[in-house]
Amino acid sequence: MRIKKFVCYNCGAPKINEYKSPYVVCDYCGSLMDIDFTIGMDVWNISPERTLKYQKGKYNFETNLADLLNKNKKDEYYKMQFDYWNFYYKIFPEYLPPSVKKGEKYKIYLDIAAESSTDFAFNKK
């Protein structure tokens, strides 16, 4: 168990229970308290096979995304980004915030990730 002190910014409660996700949430009010990047890296290194599967898939997505960007196909780029983020979180579900595991929230979360990635790619200064 990691020993790290956290105090909730929202309600002031201390973190008491062990956390196993990179997202550290308050035991009392459920607010996000911190992100533990050490656990995030541990998740990445759990399974070399899983990481390799992700890296191969990411390469394919990046190749297709670059092509769509060069052709200025923003709508298709957005759809590909949505698929990429879905792929990413299916491979690494530990990186999802605890309140966004499935259903409509998951779709909204993917939509925001795809939208922001697309906006960044097409509106670089």
Reported confidence tier of residue 120, pLDDT bands at 50, 70, 90: very high
Q: Whole-model pTM?
A: 0.77
Is the pLDDT at 97 greater than 70? The verdict is: yes
Task: Spell out the residues 6+ positions from residue 23 whose beta carbon is closer than 8 angstroms to its own.
Answer: 32, 35, 97, 98
What DSSP string runs through the chain? ------B-TTT-PBP-S---SSEEE-TTT--EEEE-HHHHHHHHHS-HHHHHHHHHHHHHHHHHHHHHHHTT-HHHHHHHHHHHHHHHHHH-GGGS-TT-SSHHHHHHHHHHHHHHHHHHHHS--
Q: Where are the domains of the chain?
A: 1-46, 47-122
How does pLDDT run across 37-56, given as a tens digit for each residue?
787 788 778 888 999 999 99
Task: Spell out the residues 6+ positions from residue 54 whose beta carbon is closer than 8 angstroms to its own.
Answer: 87, 88, 91, 92
